[in-house]
């Protein structure tokens, strides 16, 4: 793998499969009584968050701690950033403190790239979401979840049909998923009102539809996206009721899916808008499973970026036999 993970486009098919396969090994650690590996002992991981976050920040923190790294959590609120400190000066401060990896979430698209390819910091940089640009580890955990349900360990997603529905315009999750799922061989279809599709979407490696009901019957997985009102500065659809009627997933639409199909959501959910409570709480919805898989994926990413020369999970020592004792 490269030194940084900024975009899902940074990953080749082999890179993506390596992360997914490593995450399978990391997932076994969660079943142990002691959920820790010594892999990153002595390394320092800084979670540099300029935006509010629950799942992603806690997930990265848990991943680093399970690998025995030292973790520093940085929130822009209550820090020198609120006094006007620049990203450069914040990065130089972290470098002086010996950060081996910086996990950054920023409201400005491109901030992680600027941090990674400047001379401000010497460690690895992981993009935990930048503006409306990308969120590569979310795409990896989504692919990991799909693979477990649709393909099986060690395989890609070739031939699987994935439908992503909702606010694509403001979604960094959608962008990363389109890139990564395409790399893994899946066929991706975006479904949204025209006002919630970005300019140039026709050049993305995916299909586009405005009719959710037309694509459900041939979908192996449906991913519902949250309408991100906090990023909107205009009216993108008439009413919430109208949006939910045309692009929300309810029980009737879920029944139109093939029996093996799963319903996904990156969270947080707006229940009653893009997804009903009935669907969100059904056994076919993998939202909670995605959160669990996120820790394994982020353990794999940190391990491969910072430590990956040795096996991720050591094999158990061979049992001592009487013959060995005599020797």
Per the residue annotation, which of 133, 135, 147, 160 is the catalytic one?
135
Triad 126, 314, 3: Cα angle to 5°: 20
Residue 199 token pair: 């300019």
Residue 109 token pair: 């698209």
Domain ranges (residues) in the chain = 8-134+294-306, 136-289
Residues 299-325 have a mean pLDDT of: 67
User: Which DSSP helix (H) or strand (E) runs through 189?
Assistant: strand 187-191
Active site residue 106: no
**Of 78-87, 89-98, 183-192, 301-310, minimum mean pLDDT range:** 78-87
Q: What is residue 233's predicted lDDT score, i.e. its pLDDT? A: 60
Per the residue annotation, which of 4, 43, 66, 105 is the catalytic one?
105
Residue 193 token pair: 């009102």
Q: Are 118 and 88 contacting, i.e. CB atoms less than 8 angstroms apart?
A: yes
Residue 41 assigned to a binding site: no
Active site residue 56: yes
Q: What is residue 156's predicted lDDT score, i.e. its pLDDT? A: 95
Active site residue 77: no
pLDDT band at 171 (very low <50, low <70, confident <90, very high): very high
Active site residue 83: yes
Distance CA(270)–CA(33), nearest Å, equals 35
Q: Are 102 and 125 contacting, i.e. CB atoms less than 8 angstroms apart?
A: yes
Question: What top-level class would CATH report for the domain 8-134+294-306?
Answer: alpha beta
User: Which DSSP helix (H) or strand (E) runs through 128?
Assistant: strand 124-130
pLDDT band at 232 (very low <50, low <70, confident <90, very high): low
Residue 138 assigned to a binding site: yes
pLDDT band at 281 (very low <50, low <70, confident <90, very high): very high
Q: Are 29 and 40 contacting, i.e. CB atoms less than 8 angstroms apart?
A: no
Two domains, one topology: 8-134+294-306 and 136-289: yes
Q: What is residue 311's predicted lDDT score, i.e. its pLDDT? A: 57
Per the residue annotation, which of 22, 39, 56, 145 is the catalytic one?
56
Q: Residues 139-157: pLDDT tens digits?
A: 999 999 999 999 988 899 9
User: Cβ neighbours of residue 24 under 8 Å, at least 6 residues apart?
Assistant: 153, 296
Please count the residues of the chain.
327
For the domain spanning 136-289, the CATH number is 3.40.50.1370
DSSP-assigned letters across all residues of 53-113: -SHHHHHHHHHHHHTT-EEEEEESTTSGGGGT--HHHHHHHHHHTT-SEEEEEESSTTHHH
């Amino acid at each position: 793998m490269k030194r940084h993970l900024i975009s899902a486009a940074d990953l080749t098919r082999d890179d993506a499969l390596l992360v997914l396969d490593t995450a399978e090994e990391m997932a076994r650690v969660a079943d142990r009584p002691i959920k820790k590996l010594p892999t990153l002992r002595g390394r320092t991981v800084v979670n540099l968050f300029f935006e509010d976050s629950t799942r992603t920040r806690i997930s990265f923190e848990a991943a680093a701690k399970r690998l025995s790294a030292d973790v520093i959590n940085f929130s822009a609120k209550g820090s020198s950033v609120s006094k006007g400190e620049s990203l450069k000066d914040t990065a130089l401060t972290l470098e002086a403190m010996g950060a081996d990896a910086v996990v950054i979430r920023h409201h400005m698209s491109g901030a992680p790239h600027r941090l990674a390819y400047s001379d401000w910091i010497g460690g690895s940089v992981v993009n935990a979401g930048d503006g409306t640009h990308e969120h590569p580890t979310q795409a990896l955990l989504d692919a990991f979840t799909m693979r477990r349900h649709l393909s099986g360990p060690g395989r890609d997603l070739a031939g699987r049909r994935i439908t992503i529905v909702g606010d694509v315009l403001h979604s960094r999750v959608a962008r990363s998923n389109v890139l990564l799922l395409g790399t893994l061989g899946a066929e991706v279809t975006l479904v949204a009102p025209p006002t919630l599709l970005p300019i140039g979407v026709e050049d993305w490696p995916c299909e586009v539809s405005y009719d959710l009901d037309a694509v459900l019957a041939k979908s192996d997985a449906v991913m519902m996206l949250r309408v991100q009102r906090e990023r909107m500065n205009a009216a993108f659809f008439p009413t919430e009721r109208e949006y939910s009627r045309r692009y929300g997933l309810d029980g009737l639409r879920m029944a139109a899916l093939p029996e093996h199909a799963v319903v996904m959501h990156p969270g947080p959910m707006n229940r009653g808008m893009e997804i009903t409570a009935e669907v969100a709480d059904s056994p076919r919805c993998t939202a909670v499973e995605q959160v669990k898989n996120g820790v394994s994926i982020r353990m794999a990413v940190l391990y491969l970026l910072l430590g990956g020369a040795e096996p991720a999970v050591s094999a158990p020592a061979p049992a001592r036999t009487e013959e060995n004792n005599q020797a």
